Structure 1
Amino acid sequence: MRSGNEPVTARSPLRLRLGLGVWGLLWALGGTVAFALVGRADWAIACGALLLVVAADVAVVLRRMRQGAHYQPGPDVPPYESCRTGRRRGGRDAP
């Protein structure tokens, strides 16, 4: 949905999010292994849970990247009219 004020050359931040997700996977995996080796099971479980959350996020990012670009209206399509232009609550015109 266009609002009329978005930049024409806007890009999706999925690559950045993927990079940060992989970085988080590495740190969570390292923390899980390190705490397990030291004998701190509670911290190892916490890092393991974080590892699962980050892995799910990376999976979602990869899925969205594989979907490719979605239809976006071009510059010839006018933006949607704002609901605040000249109308009050209740659908009556402003005086």
Structure 2
Amino acid sequence: MRTGNEPATARSALRLRFWLSVWGLLWAAFGTVAFALVGRPGWAVACGVLFLVVTFDLGTVLRRLHQGPHWQPGRNVPPYEPDHGGTGR
């Protein structure tokens, strides 16, 4: 059931994002090495840049996983209700 506060209560699938980042990291590293060996420097650089982006994303995911249930609540934690009043802070 939609309540209208989904953006405030959304939960990220960090473990899935972790494994997808690991998969992307492996392929980007493989692509960098493979393209460098066959003499395609443009593609090797593109894969190297992708490797750096995926490494940064993997670090972000690991940091958020280690922050605990405040950032990644479990199934037993109900969704948070949005703040309907106050000073807007």
Per-residue CA distance 1:10-58 (angstroms, 9 max, x = gap): 7530000000000000110010000000010111000000000000000
**SS of 2:69's equivalent?**
coil
Where does the alignment leave 5 or more consecutive residues of structure 2 unmatched?
Answer: 85-89
The runs of 5 or more residues in structure 1 that have no matched partner are 82-95
Structure whose alpha-carbon radius of gyration is higher: 1
- The Cα RMSD (Å) is 2.8
CA distance in 1, matches of 2:82, 2:14: 25
Instruction: Give the letter for the 1:19 counterpart.
Output: W
Which runs of structure 1 show a deviation greater than 3 angstroms over 4 or more consecutive aligned residues?
3-6, 77-81
CA distance in structure 2 between the partners assigned to 1:53 and 1:60 by the alignment: 11
TM-score under structure 1 normalisation? 0.65
Q: Which has the higher helix share?
A: 2
Does structure 1 retain, via aligned residues, the 8 Å contact 2:35–2:44?
yes
TM-score, normalised with respect to structure 2 = 0.69
Equivalent residue, structure 1, for 2:67: 67
Residues 1:80 and 1:45: Cα distance change in structure 2 (over 3 Å): same
Identity %: 64
